[in-house]
Amino acid sequence: MSEKNLFESSATYRMACQQLRDVAKVIDLEEGIESRLMLPKRSLVCAVPIRMDTGETRNFIGYRVQHSLTSGASKGGLRYAPQVDLGEVAALAMWMSWKCGIMNLPYGGAKGGIACDPVTMSTGEKERLTRRFTEEVLSIIGPRIDVMAPDMGTDDQTMAWIYDTYSMKVGYACPEIVTGKPVELGGCVGRREATGRGVVYCIREALSELNLTPHESTAVVQGFGNVGSVTCDELAKHGTKILAVGDRYGSIRNMTGIDVAALARYANADPKKSIVGFPGAEAIPDAELLTTPCTVLVPAAMERQITKDNAANLKCRILAEGANGPTTPEADAILEAAGVFIIPDVLCNAGGVTVSYFEWVQDIQQLMWSERQVNEKLRELMLAAFHRVRKLAKERNLPMRMAALALGVNKVALEKQRRGLFP
Ligand SMILES: NC(=O)C1=CN([C@@H]2O[C@H](COP(=O)(O)OP(=O)(O)OC[C@H]3O[C@@H](n4cnc5c(N)ncnc54)[C@H](O)[C@@H]3O)[C@@H](O)[C@H]2O)C=CC1
Ligand SMILES: O=C(O)CCC(=O)C(=O)O
Q: How far is the CA of 274 from the centre of ligand 1 (A)?
A: 12
Q: Which atom of ligand 2 is nearest to the CA of 353?
A: 1
Tell me the mean pLDDT in the region 122-135.
98
Q: What is the spatial order of strands in the sheet that 282-284 belongs to? A: 282-284, 250-253, 241-247, 218-222, 296-299, 318-320, 341-343
What CA–CA distance (Å, rounded) separates 323 from 302? 6
Alpha-carbon span 64 to 54, nearest angstrom: 28
Instruction: Tell me if 352 CB under 6 Å of ligand 1.
Output: yes
**Percent of the chain beyond pLDDT 70?**
99
| Ligand 1 centre distance from Cα of residue 303 (Å) | 9
pLDDT in tens, 11-28: 999 999 999 999 999 999
Closest ligand to C-alpha of residue 76 is 2
pLDDT, mean over the chain: 97
For strands 42-51 and 57-66, give the pairing: antiparallel
Per-residue pLDDT, 3: 56
Residues in the annotated binding site: 75, 99, 195, 226, 356
Tens of pLDDT, residue by residue over 367-404, are 999 999 999 999 999 999 999 999 999 999 999 999 99
Name all domains of the chain by residue range, CATH numbers in brackets. 11-175 (3.40.50.10860), 192-348 (3.40.50.720)
Strand partners, 136: none
> How does strand 241-247 pair with strand 57-66?
unpaired
In tens, the pLDDT along 265-285 reads 999 999 999 999 999 999 999
**Mutation choice for ligand 2 from 63, 75, 97, CB with most ligand atoms inside 8 A:** 75
Ligand 2 binding pocket includes 77 (Cβ within 6 Å): yes
Q: What is the mean pLDDT of residues 341-355?
A: 98
Q: Is 111 a catalytic residue?
A: yes
Which pTM does this prediction carry?
Answer: 0.97
User: What pLDDT was estimated at residue 93?
Assistant: 98
- What backbone phi and psi angles, to 5 degrees, belong to 147? -125, 115
Average of per-residue pLDDT across 201-209: 98
Round to whole Å and give the CA distance between 239 and 242: 9
Mean pLDDT over 128-140 rounds to: 98
Q: For atom 1 of ligand 1, which residue has the closest CA?
A: 151
Q: What is the pLDDT of residue 422?
A: 56
Whether 346 is in the pocket of ligand 1, judged by its Cβ within 6 Å, is no
**What is the tens place of the pLDDT at every residue in 27-36?**
999 999 999 9
pLDDT value at 216 more than 60? yes
CA distances from 213 to 218, 235, 274 (A): 10, 11, 30
**Residue 386: strand, helix, or coil:** helix
Decide if pLDDT at 2 tops 70: no
Report the percent of the chain where pLDDT is more than 90.
97
Ligand 2 pocket, mutate which of 148, 154, 195, 202 (most atoms under 8 A from CB): 195
Please tell me the predicted confidence (pLDDT) of residue 420.
81
State whether the beta carbon of 81 lies less than 6 angstroms from ligand 1: no
- Which residue, judged by its Cα, is nearest atom 33 of ligand 1? 248
User: Does the pLDDT of residue 340 top 50, yes or no?
Assistant: yes
Half-sphere exposure of 320 (CA within 13 A, CB side): 34
196 and 322 in contact (C-beta within 8 Å)?
Answer: yes
* 353 Cβ closer than 6 Å to some ligand 2 atom: yes
Q: How far apart are CA 294 and CA 291, in angstroms?
A: 9
Query: Which residues, in sequence order, are bridge partners of residue 147?
Result: 75
Q: Please write the tens of the pLDDT for every residue from 72-105.
A: 999 999 999 999 999 999 999 999 999 999 999 9
| Residue 423 predicted with pLDDT over 50 | no
Note whether 136 and 59 are within 8 A (CB): no
Lowest-confidence region among 286-290, 317-321, 414-418: 414-418
> With bands split at pLDDT 50, 70 and 90, how would you rate the model's confidence at 421?
low
pLDDT band at 1 (very low <50, low <70, confident <90, very high): very low
